Chain A
Amino acid sequence: MPSEETMVYRTIRATRAGAAAVALAVAGAALGGCVYDEGLEIANLRGRVIVPEEAVTRTLVLGDGTEQTITDIKLLGPVYLGLFPSVEPANVLERYPHPEIGPQFREDVPGDTYPYGGTTVGDLRFACFEFLRCKVVSGRFLDYQEIVEWFRYIEQPILDASGAEVNSGEFLAQACYDLLNVNTDDEVRITAYEDRNGDDVIDDKDLDFVYDEAEHAYVGDFEIYQQEMFWDQSAEGCEPGRDCPGFSLWGWMDAPSKSSFQYSTCNPTLGYRNQEYNANFTGGAAFPTLLNFPSTYITNDDWVASEPYQWNDKYAEPDIYLDFAVQ
């Protein structure tokens, strides 16, 4: 390699400028690229659902012919909450306030509501025996013994795979553990399994709904995860997130059937698929179009929200009242 030191030093002047430029580039790069706006308004929306006491009050006719009126959270079925473009207070098609619907494409099926989002409070849950298909909702039972006792109380005792009556909550729990290959209640997610209110006790205060004496109602929290916000920007000059009208929160509670204690929002041909020996059945699950065609699934004795909540501010934590009984 030749010794060209003279010429190298000539290049030094140039490289000094280069070093300065490198330093500037580093500083510029460090300052740049720190801010990134994905351009999406996405938030976890929170609020409360309030269900009046009357909604979970029912008169049972017992086997001996006597009538008994009870108020129990176990009569509080799954609550479906949807975010819709708007809700018609006096819907011409339905007997109750109902989300606006689009064109009807199929005969006998009302138009789609085109929901923006939604969630539930309490989920239809397969409770491990075919007998309980479409009859159990999470967040309503303190433990397995309470499930057994409840169905015995409404005179529909639980039957196991062989048709024998289930008398023990422990037996039901073990059946779930075996069927689902799990070890703990929080994996089954039917009963109260976590100390939600932080009082170091898992009790009925840790169910989805808690009785509020002041409201004379059951109150439950809901959270709609990762909801993309939409605003009606047809109003002139409105700014989304500030003064444009947002979407409407509306929902209903699916009350259990008086005769079968099944839920009309549950499709018995969907859900967990059991394929052991001759016990082939599905466990039941919610219909996947509940929010699109709510009138298909809302039946008598269900309770809907008479006043939707217009969600303009993603930080609002509204209450929604399911105060309209469908008759």
Chain B
Amino acid sequence: MPRRFFQGRSVLALLLGILALLLVSDSVWAATGGQLRVVVSDEDELPIPGVNLELTGESLIGGLQEKASDGEGVALFVELPPGVYRLVASKAGFGGVTIEGIQVNLNRTTIQAVTLQAGAVEEIEVKAKAKAVDVESTSTSKVLTKDFLQRIPAGRTYQNAVQTVPGVTQGSGGNPGMAGGASNENTYMLDGANITDPVTGTFSLNFNFDAIEQIEVLLGGYMPEYGTSVGGVINVVTESGTNNLQMQTNIFYNNGNLAPKTDERLAADGLPIAPTGFDSQFQTLQIAQKLSGPLIRDKAWFVISYQSARSLIARSGIPQARDYDGHYILAKLTVQPNPEHRLSFFVQSDPTTVDNTDQSNPFVKAEAQGRQAQGGFVSNLRWQWFLAPEMNLDTAILFQKSFIEANAVPCTHDRTRDWHPCRPGEQEGYVDWETPGRVGINGAYDSVNYGFYYFDDRLRYNASTKLSLLSVEDRFGGTHDLKFGLEGNQIVWDQIQGYSGNTLYYDINEVSFDPLSLQNYYWVEITGPIKFRTTASEYNAFAQDSWKPVSNLTINYGTRFDAFVFRNDLGEPVLSGALLGPRLFGAWDPFGDQRTKIATGYGRFNDTGRLGVASFTSAANFGSKLYLGEYFGGADCMGFLNSQSNLYSSSPKDNLAIAHDHLRAPRVDELLLTLEREVVQDVALFTTLSGKFFRYLYEPDDRNLIWDSDGSTPIGSRFSDPDQYYLRLRSPELAKRDYFRWDLGVRKVESRRWAAEASYSYTQSVGSSTNSLSGSFANDPQTKFNYGPLNTDLRHTGRAYAYWDLPTDPWTIQLSALFIYTDGFPEERLYVSEGPQIYSYSLRVRPRGTYLRFNPNWTFNVGYTQNIDVRKGQIFVRLEALNLFNNRSPEFVYAGLIDTQNRLVTSQRQDPLQLQGAIGYKF
């Protein structure tokens, strides 16, 4: 930084202006680096000022950093890329000290004590020790390092790896459930950029597991810079390269076609769960490559990473296996031309096709199977400006596009595959957009063609900036780490959807139990593709301070300001607001020995919404015409006539849903209490009490239908239109969720080549809404059953892992194990109403979640890695057994279905026992 910059009054005024601006707003940035605070003292624990400290690290771009300890013997290194560092301390009159292996983690301050001996002449080399208790962190969070991720047998997905953290559960669709939030209520960050799907609130990108440097998992108590997630935050930081050219190639093959397979299980009350049949195929293959190194030594590094992910999984006797073919590409360039400026740019892309998407219905002919092409890319340009040793400005712009395209599987002439066969005259790969599909109901075959198409593009434009002022002293001797940020987001969601040939037929069995005997039931017509666009604008700001009034007390406080407008496809604002989210958390080290922490606090987290909610009132996607087929004799059945006046009965011409004028964004108030204590060297006990209170979740009610006493049958209609729901989006007080969790555990940080952790969590999650738009309030009389244990009410969960590097140098054997136990989740039985079929509404007859609770679900994974040093590099061989005991407990149950043997029906069970083999090479 040029000295002149800071020497004018105008500059100071500018800074004050920026501060003033930022104080009324704030940014949304996750940390991508950590800090190192070095405390130098002599043998009598007296601080030594003026000690020269040289910091180097493989991941530290820009080369060696040099500082001198201040009057308190303290020096702070900021914005360090996560990784392992080496520190050299020297001062005339003292013996030098070199400390190796200092681990710097995401969003953490590593405190490294250095003791110099007066008059010593020898240089001492010591190895840094990991701290068992982070006495300054006020959040319930954990950093998963690269070493951890590479060792732990979690199936090479970060979604699995994060389940080693208490409070994280499996969730659904690859989206973990975190801290009482639904699986679509988390925030996903990649290298500091928010990559959460703006429509669904789920993760939006896949990437090469080997390219991950660290993952920060935040469950609560986190500061405003991390945004507004009401669940948790998964903050992934990828590698940035080093001064050494490095290459790594790994091949992972995973086979789950192993016997025995046992999957019929009883729920806790003895009710059987129907067998699902067995996966006829379960194979995955991953080929991962990574190349990184310097373009200019210490100044410009690159990383290129590619992973091919292919899986063939056929479930439940489905003849056509689900064929997943993903390609995850990461290119990253980091440039630090001088100490003041660091630029980084990355592009991550994950084009993927998934063929034969329907794996739940055995009555699907090959030609009626669907393909989903999905993926997208995110590009992010970031500029870090180190204005002063403890001041920096972090600015980024991001563009993200993700897409989903659903249509028929392209046909093939290859008769060896049970794939969509091409008809004579059709070219290989032909997709039929014209021929209407036929959907089977009540066990008839889906046939002729896949009947739908759907194109979906989601765009996010983001710009953000964050100013950090670190280690600022106040007049009382305390220090402050101040951060201020601003962010703007523009989001666009474009959709085109329709039916092939603008028509979709529904067939029923002509002869009972004969799926081949098709008889037309009804059909639906549209005039053409349905197109619509919804948009959102968000402006966010934050201000936060990490205040250390005394050395053993940290008080983190701050607030967010989130202003947002989500619009439907008519451009009408549906969700809007300007909300404050204050946080106040503190951590106290009562004995000042960095072995004990008491942390507590309160925070408010506002859910600013998703486009999926805003589109509730969109105008498109209406007006399909329903015709009754031959099954009904053509006319006058179930209250329908094939006449113009009745054609829209199943789908109104216009969206009848509205949004209530006074919507309030959902919010969560969180209370936390954490106690940690290192009881013996490197071993700490920890316990956390967490309470989260979700309020005002978005839920619609129905303004139209008046129901009988149990909500089974409508008996009147306020709009004199008993064929339709007139939904109204609300944020009612009754739409709520209360979440309580108690964690108790013991951890042994890595030392002497091994690390381990075991924890137990007791969880209660009770409420009326599992997430927004759950439909809990669409039927007034059913309100009496709305409140109860949610399916995230897992009660007892336990997890344990350990890894051990066997001391067989120069070769190394790594052993690891992972155990996760989850109590049975509560399930509710839904009953078909007795109303006309158009009103078929799933009824509860008892409070939510009290029908039964499933048996426990547990898995045990083991891993073995043999690293073999070779002339230029290292070969490794890895074997993993996932779900070693082949448990097949249900993960999902159709709440409304019970089969003819009075058994609950599940469509998804735990993945079977899988053996995964890998071989890799790196240099």
0/1 string, A108-127, CB within 8 A of B gives 1: 00001011111111111110
Contacts of A22 in B (CB 8 A): 23, 482, 543-545, 557-559
| Partner-A contacts on B (CB < 8 A) | 1, 3, 6-7, 12, 15-16, 19, 23, 65, 271, 339-340, 386-391, 442, 469, 472-475, 480, 482, 484, 512, 543-545, 547, 557-559, 579-584, 602, 604, 638-639, 660-662, 664, 667, 696, 701, 703, 705-710, 712-718, 720, 722, 730-733, 777, 780-784, 829, 831-832, 834-837, 839, 845-846, 898-900, 902
A203-226 vs B, Cβ < 8 Å mask (1 yes, 0 no):
000000000000000000011111
Contact A189–B559 (Cβ < 8 Å): no
> Chain B contacts of A138 at CB under 8 A?
710
Chain B CB within 10 Å, residue with most, of A1, A118, A122: A1
Interface 1/0s, chain A 9-38, versus B by CB < 8 A? 011101111110111011111101100111
* Minimum CB–CB distance for A249 against chain B, Å: 13
Contact A3–B389 (Cβ < 8 Å):
yes
Nearest CB on B from A23, distance (A)? 7
Residue contact A29 to B580, C-beta cutoff 8 Å: yes
Does A200 make an interface contact (CB < 8 A)? no
Also in contact, A271 and B19, with CB within 8 A (given A22-B543, A288-B713): no
A273 touches B472 (CB 8 A): no
Q: Are A226 and B716 in contact (CB under 8 A)?
A: no
A33-B580, A38-B731, A122-B709 are known; give 20 further A-B pairs, CB within 8 A. Answer: A4-B1, A4-B387, A11-B391, A14-B15, A22-B543, A27-B582, A28-B580, A29-B581, A38-B730, A38-B732, A78-B708, A82-B706, A117-B706, A181-B898, A270-B835, A272-B832, A285-B836, A286-B714, A289-B720, A292-B716
- Specify which of B23, B602, B709 is in contact with A25 (CB 8 Å cutoff): B23
Question: What secondary structure prevails in chain B residues at the interface with A?
Answer: mixed
Complex contact B580–A25 (CB within 8 A): yes
User: How far apart are B479's CB and chain A's nearest CB, in angstroms?
Assistant: 10
Partner of B472, one of A15, A33, A275, A292: A15
- Asked if A38 and B484 sit within 8 Å, CB to CB, the answer is no
Chain B residues within 8 Å of A117, by CB: 706, 718, 780
Q: A197 to chain B: which residues have CB within 8 Å?
A: none
CA of A182 to CA of B777, assembled, Å: 25
Q: CB < 8 Å: which of B391, B584, B701 contacts A226?
A: B701
Q: Is the interface of A mostly helix, strand, loop or mixed?
A: mixed
A317 CB within 8 Å of chain B: no
Please tell me if the beta carbons of B391 and A8 are within 8 angstroms of each other in the complex.
yes
A180 to chain B, nearest CB (A): 8
Contact among B339, B388, B667 with A8 in the assembled complex (CB-CB below 8 Å):
B388
We find that the number of chain A residues with CB closer than 8 angstroms to chain B is: 84
Q: Is A290 part of the binding interface, using a Cβ–Cβ cutoff of 8 Å?
A: yes
Considering the chains assembled together, what is the distance between the CA atoms of A123 and B714 in angstroms?
A: 11
Structural contact, A12 and B718, CB atoms closer than 8 A: no
Q: Is the CB of B718 within 8 A of A39?
A: no
CB-contact partner of B696 in A28, A36, A186, A287, under 8 A: A36
Q: Which of A14, A26, A30 has the most CB of B within 10 A?
A: A26
B580 near A275 with CB under 8 A, answer no
CA distance A10 to B469 in the complex (A): 12
Shortest Cβ distance from A4 into chain B, in angstroms? 4
Task: Check A25 against B482 for contact (C-beta < 8 Å).
Answer: no
C-alpha spacing A288/B662, complex, angstroms: 31
Residues of A within 8 A of B720 (CB): 112, 114, 289, 292
Answer whether A118 and B706 are a contact pair too, CB < 8 Å, given A26-B583, A186-B846, A271-B836: yes
Q: Which of A25, A114, A269 contacts B559 (CB 8 A)?
A: A25
What are 10 inter-chain pairs, A to B, with CB distance below 8 A? A4-B1, A4-B6, A15-B472, A21-B23, A39-B662, A123-B710, A138-B710, A181-B899, A288-B705, A292-B720
B339 touches A19 (CB 8 A): no
Minimum CB–CB distance from B223 to chain A (whole Å) comes to 11
Q: Using Cβ atoms and an 8 Å threshold, which residues of chain A touch B23? A: 18, 21-22, 25
The answer on a CB contact under 8 Å between A181 and B900 is yes
Contact B784 A225 (CB under 8 A): yes
Residues in A with CB closer than 8 Å to B783 are 44, 225-226
Contact residues of A between 97 and 115, Cβ < 8 Å to B: 112, 114-115
B780→A226 contact, CB < 8 A: yes
Complex formed: what's the CA distance from A244 to B638 in Å?
42
Q: Please measure, in the bound complex, the distance between the C-alpha atom of A131 and the C-alpha atom of B705, giving whole angstroms.
A: 29
Report how far A227 CA is from B777 CA in the complex, Å: 12
Bound-state Cα–Cα, A120 to B543, Å = 55
Q: From residue 176 to 213 of chain A, which have CB atoms closer than 8 A to chain B? A: 177, 180-183, 186-187, 189
Q: Chain B contacts of A290 at CB under 8 A?
A: 715-716
- Least CB distance from A188 to B in Å reads 9
B482 CB contacts on chain A under 8 angstroms: 15, 18-19, 22
Interface flag for A40 (CB, 8 Å): yes
Given known contacts A119-B781, A225-B780, A226-B780, A21 and B543 CB-to-CB distance under 8 angstroms: yes
Sorted from nearest, which 8 A-B pairs have the closest CB atoms?
Answer: A291-B716, A29-B580, A7-B6, A29-B582, A288-B722, A1-B339, A120-B708, A226-B780
Whose C-beta in chain A lies nearest to the C-beta of B577?
A33
Contact between B469 and A115, CB atoms less than 8 A apart: no
Q: Verify A286–B846 contact, CB threshold 8 A.
A: no
Q: Which residues on the A side are within 8 Å of B480 (C-beta)?
A: 15, 19
Q: Which residues in A have their C-beta under 8 angstroms from that of B834?
A: 123-126, 271-272, 283, 285
Residues A39 and B661 in contact, CB atoms below 8 Å apart: yes
Q: Are A19 and B19 in contact (CB under 8 A)?
A: no
Residue of A whose beta carbon sits closest to that of B638: A269
Q: Is the CB of A286 within 8 A of B780?
A: no
Q: Which residues of A contact B900 (CB under 8 A)?
A: 181
CB distance from A27 to the nearest CB of B (A): 8
Complex Cα distance A182/B896, Å? Answer: 11
Contact of A121 among B65, B660, B709, B782 (CB under 8 A): B709
Whether A8 lies near B15 (C-beta < 8 A) is no
Residues of A within 8 A of B836 (CB): 270-271, 285, 288
A80 to B715, CA, bound (A): 8
Question: What's the minimum C-beta distance from A181 to chain B, rounded to whole angstroms?
Answer: 4
List the A side residues contacting B831 at CB < 8 Å: 180, 182, 187
Residues of chain A within 8 A (CB-CB) of B389 are: 1-5, 8
Q: Which residues of B contact A25 (CB under 8 A)?
A: 23, 543, 558-559, 580, 582
Q: A289 and B340: CB pair below 8 A?
A: no
Residues of A within 8 A of B580 (CB): 25, 28-29, 32-33
Contacts of B777 in A (CB 8 A): 226
- Whether the pair A33, B715 counts as a contact (CB closer than 8 A) is no
| Residues on the B chain within 8 Å of A44, using CB | 783
